[in-house]
Copies of this chain bind each other. A is one copy, B any other.
Amino acid sequence: MRISELSERSGIAVATIKYYLREGLLPPGERTGPNQARYGDEHLRRLRLIRALIEVGGLPVATVGDVLEAVDTPDLPMFNLLGVVQGSLTAPAPSASDAEWERAHETVRAEMDRRSWSMTPAAPAIEALTAVLVRAAQLGYPDWGESALPAYFDGARIVAETDVATALAAGERDAIVDVVVVHTVLGDTALAAIRRIAQAQVSLETLAMGTEPST
């Protein structure tokens, strides 16, 4: 297809596609004339992925380049690929004393150890979680992490199993990364909303009825 059709089918402006070509985010098409090239379905798929990373993931263009490089590395094991994508979507840590940080990190490590989960593939997310625990302590809730983590890990595991199954069902490498990015960002928002819905339901059961929440 010509660049105009690529633009129409991807929903991305021609000028933007040309920018992505210049930046190397999109591989060149097959040259068919001095100012013409032909593009295939792989270009459409790549554009859709770029759009997901930038529009939904909010990634800067440079980071998009890193992620795409990982996508293009055939030897990179799949879970490392998912890790690269996920790592690029996790926020940096706030400032805190070493002692505060160590205490929070120990709480997270203890929960991971209790379940025999591997620390390495999830390093950026572990850092983000530790940052939240530090922030909670700074706001006056130093024990919140220890009391909340068991249930949070149980609930998140159930969600993650459906996430990974959905991502793997997509089958083809680009589509898997696409699904992971879209689902990570959309999934966060959905999970936050559903958590509020569930809190309202549990509150209703506990407070309005005067009984313990049903499990």
Residues of A within 8 A of B (CB): 48, 52, 56, 77-79, 82-83, 86, 89-91, 112, 117-118, 121-122, 124-126, 128-129, 132-133, 135-136, 139-141, 144-145, 147-164, 166, 168, 179, 182-184, 186-204, 206-208, 213, 215
Q: In the complex, how many angstroms separate the beta carbon of A20 from the nearest chain B beta carbon?
A: 18
Contact B79 A193 (CB under 8 A): no
A207 CA to B121 CA, complexed, in Å: 12
Complex contacts, A90 vs chain B, CB 8 Å: 193, 196
User: Given A189-B132, A193-B90, does the pair A168, B121 have CB atoms closer than 8 Å?
Assistant: no
Closest to A153 in B: B194
Complex contacts, A159 vs chain B, CB 8 Å: 151-152, 155-156, 195, 198
Contact B184 A196 (CB under 8 A): yes
A134 CA to B123 CA, complexed, in Å: 32
A160: contacting residue among B166, B183, B202, CB under 8 A: B202
Closest to A117 in B: B201
Contact B164 A197 (CB under 8 A): no
Contact B132 A186 (CB under 8 A): yes
Would you list the 5 A-B pairs with minimal beta carbon distance, nearest first? A160-B198, A151-B162, A125-B196, A155-B155, A122-B200
Complex contacts, A52 vs chain B, CB 8 Å: 139
